[in-house]
């Protein structure tokens, strides 16, 4: 399966909040339903349903999750990778804004955002977007 990931690079160990942040940013939950309160907030505040766009990737136990933690150049496992079936470029402003809101509420510093295309062979390619060139990616 090939998919995209929107990665939020933070100063904190993302394993403490990756599912909650993903639910706040996208409204989408994994099988474990961690982040239910944040998902409810998303749906209360946004007139948007991203369920069909989100890729649910199984973890080592087979539990489907729309996100995972990822290494960054700043913090080991400080990145939150949020998975999409399709290119999330059309939603970047919203994804960044909600990520920043979540981080502020939870005393987390965000250093940058990245979008990656993941090929089934586990090859990761950084993406350059013609339509998003004028967007600021670093905080």
SS3 per residue for the chain: CCEEEEEEEECCCHHHCHHHHHHHHHCCCCCCCCCHHHHHHHHHHCCCCCHHHECCEECCCCCEECEEEECCCCCCCCEEEEEECCCHHHHHHHHHHHHHHHHHHCCCCEEEEEEEEECCCCCEEECCCHHHCCCCCEC
Using a pLDDT cut of 70, give the percent of the chain over it. Answer: 86
For residue 110, is it within any domain?
Answer: yes
Note the pLDDT of residue 27.
97
For residues 60, 65, 67, 69, the Cα torsion angle rounded to the nearest 10 degrees is -30
Q: Token match 């399966």: residue? A: 1
Tell me, what's the pLDDT at 123? 58
Summarised one tens digit per residue, pLDDT across range 2-57 is 999 999 999 999 999 999 999 999 999 999 999 999 999 999 999 999 999 999 99
Confidence (pLDDT) at 72 = 83
- Asked, for residue 139, whether it belongs to a domain, the answer is no
Residue 27 domain-assigned? yes
User: 81-105, pLDDT tens digit by residue?
Assistant: 999 999 999 999 999 999 999 999 9
> Does the residue 52 lie in any domain?
yes
Residue 96 lies in domain:
3-132
Of 25-34, 46-55, 64-73, 115-124, the range with the lowest mean pLDDT is: 115-124
Answer whether 25's CB lies under 8 Å from 55's CB. no
Q: How far apart are CA 78 and CA 62, in angstroms?
A: 23
**Is 138 inside a domain boundary?**
no
Answer yes or no: is 103 within a domain. Answer: yes
Return the pLDDT at 74. Answer: 72
Whole-angstrom distance, CA of residue 11 vs CA of residue 14: 9
Its pTM stands at 0.85
């993903």: which residue's tokens?
22
In a domain, 137, yes or no: no
Query: What's the number of domains the chain is made of?
Result: 1
């Amino acid at each position: 399966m090939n998919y995209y990931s929107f990665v939020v690079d933070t100063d904190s160990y993302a394993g403490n909040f990756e599912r909650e942040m993903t639910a706040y940013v996208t409204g989408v939950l994994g099988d474990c339903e961690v982040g239910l309160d944040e998902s409810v907030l998303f749906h209360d505040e946004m007139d948007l349903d991203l369920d069909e766009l989100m890729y649910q990737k199984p973890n080592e136990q087979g539990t489907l999750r729309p996100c995972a933690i990822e290494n960054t150049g700043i913090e080991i496992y400080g990145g939150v990778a949020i998975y999409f079936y399709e290119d999330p470029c059309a939603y970047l402003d919203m994804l960044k804004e909600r990520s920043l809101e979540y981080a502020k509420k939870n005393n987390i510093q965000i250093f940058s955002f990245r979008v990656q295309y993941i090929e089934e062979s586990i090859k990761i390619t950084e993406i350059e977007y013609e339509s998003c060139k004028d967007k600021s990616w670093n905080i």
